[in-house]
């Protein structure tokens, strides 16, 4: 039987995964806007590609029951860096903060299963 909790869990994991797949692909394809943020933080260019690969692997990991807590935790660490960047350079951090909240919800629901 599918409950409201499992429907919510499915929707939030799906949306979060799509967000990270898109973000990861933009970094892997070398979209300049995405890599400018790493340059502003004085990080090497390869780091943007590394983060992009981590985001895609994390998005896949969220969908695997045995890995979703670890994947969500790893992605949350990446998003803490995104919050830092957005607050210091874009003067807002609401979007990455919402994504962190979604990852926390995934972790909490996964722990209850």
Q: Global pTM?
A: 0.90
pLDDT in tens, the chain (113 residues): 446 578 899 999 999 999 999 999 999 999 998 889 999 999 999 999 999 999 999 999 999 999 999 999 999 999 999 999 999 998 888 999 999 999 999 999 987 76
- Give residue-wise pLDDT tens across range 10-24: 999 999 999 999 999
Cα Rg of the chain (Å, integer): 15
- Extents of the domains making up the chain: 4-112
| Dihedral sign, Cα of residue 10, residue 12, residue 15, residue 17 | negative
| pLDDT for the residue 26 | 96
Q: How far apart are CA 20 and CA 26, in angstroms?
A: 10
């Amino acid at each position: 039987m599918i409950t409201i909790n499992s429907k919510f869990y499915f929707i939030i994991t799906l949306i979060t995964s799509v967000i990270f797949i898109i973000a990861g692909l933009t970094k892997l394809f070398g979209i300049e806007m995405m890599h400018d943020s790493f340059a502003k933080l004085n990080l090497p260019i390869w780091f943007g590609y590394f983060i992009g690969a981590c985001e895609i692997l994390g998005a896949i990991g969220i969908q695997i029951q045995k890995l979703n807590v670890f994947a969500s935790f790893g992605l949350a660490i990446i998003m803490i860096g995104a919050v830092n960047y957005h607050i210091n350079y874009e003067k807002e951090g609401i979007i990455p903060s919402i994504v962190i909240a979604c990852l926390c919800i995934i972790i909490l629901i996964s722990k209850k299963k």
